[in-house]
Amino acid sequence: MTVFGATGITAKYGQVTVLDQVDLPILNDNEVLGLLGPNASGKSTLMRCLSGEKSTTGHITIDGRTRADMGHDGWHHRLASMPQSPPNPSALLPTELMWSTARALDLDVSDRELADQIEGIFARLGLSEFALSPLHTLSGGKRQLVGLALALMRDPDVLLLDEPTSALDLHWRMVVLDLVRERLSDRGGVVVAALHDLDLAARYCDQIVLLHGGKIIASGGPQHVLTPANLARVYRVETRVTLDCDGRPLVQVIRPLRDGEAA
Ligand SMILES: Nc1ncnc2c1ncn2[C@@H]1O[C@H](COP(=O)(O)OP(=O)(O)OP(=O)(O)O)[C@@H](O)[C@H]1O
Ligand SMILES: [Mg+2]
């Protein structure tokens, strides 16, 4: 069982406040939280605050314990994040990157188990045939999948994904998010995923937080958050929202709104 909490998250770059008292809903085991918002709204900064990479005045807990309570190693034993930028297009092979990362993290598994784990993750993400291809020869989407493989290898209870599907085609977007959900039902844990695709968010997230200018504009179930009024306010677009047969919102974007124009 994992319970993840984050309240009062405020973050600055220099003197500029980019997150202002952000309170996320409590995430209980098996829940996926979608973090939505336009460019520069603060999603990646929030992800870095949640992981501990960026300092914040907020209170972030896993099962009621903070990073200070658990210590750096204890925290990162339970939490892993996939950054927005994929691994650099270097001459390194995906397999080498996985092994060197595992060595650096001192993961508590035998070489045999690790080899099986890497093989399984690569197979699931369609990377087996690219395992020995230098990263600079892979497409952007395949490199993004290697970035996801690195986070999954750590088998965390709290998985933070910053735009995990932004470079992926329609097939792989769904494979990735199916895998994320399947993993939660198999082993428990929680996921926070920053996403730009509203339909994927509606389909895969239990709760959605809509950020704008470093503040939360709406928070709750997809049907509650993905409304034409919220989307007009935050994304400056006119939309039509209908419900599919499972009651999930389907967002049709009609046009961008002009400056000063109401939806
Ligand atoms: N290292 C940094 N130094 C200074 N300002 C930064 C830094 N990183 C981000 N910012 C600023 O913080 C704000 C939030 O940026 P952030 O990357 O968190 O947005 P985002 O919601 O992830 O955007 P996107 O959808 O484009 O990825 C922006 O105004 C950005 O310019
Ligand atoms: Mg970002």
Q: Which residue minimizes the CA distance to atom 19 of ligand 1?
A: 40
pLDDT band at 202 (very low <50, low <70, confident <90, very high): very high
Q: Which one of 3.40.50.920, 3.40.190.10, 3.40.50.300, 3.40.50.720 gives the CATH number of domain 4-256?
A: 3.40.50.300
Residue 108 has what pLDDT? 82
Q: Which residue minimizes the CA distance to atom 28 of ligand 1?
A: 40
The finding on whether 147 has its CB within 6 A of some atom of ligand 1 is no
Cα separation of 199 and 129, whole Å? 30
Q: HSE-up of 169 (CA within 13 Å, CB side)?
A: 5
The finding on whether 37 has its CB within 6 A of some atom of ligand 1 is yes
Q: For the chain, what percent of residues have pLDDT higher than 90?
A: 95
Digit-coded pLDDT (tens) for 164-191: 999 999 999 999 999 999 999 999 999 9
Digit-coded pLDDT (tens) for 31-54: 999 999 999 999 999 999 999 999
Residue 263 has what pLDDT? 66
Distance 232 CA to ligand 1 centre (A): 21
Q: Which residue minimizes the CA distance to atom 12 of ligand 1?
A: 18
Q: Which residue minimizes the CA distance to atom 1 of ligand 1?
A: 13
Domain ranges of the chain: 4-256
Residue 255 predicted with pLDDT over 70 = yes
Distance 77 CA to ligand 2 centre (A): 24
Residue 109 has what pLDDT? 87
Digit-coded pLDDT (tens) for 103-153: 998 888 899 999 999 999 999 999 999 999 999 999 999 999 999 999 999
Over range 13-19, report the average pLDDT.
97
From the alpha carbon of 214, which atom of ligand 1 is closest? 14
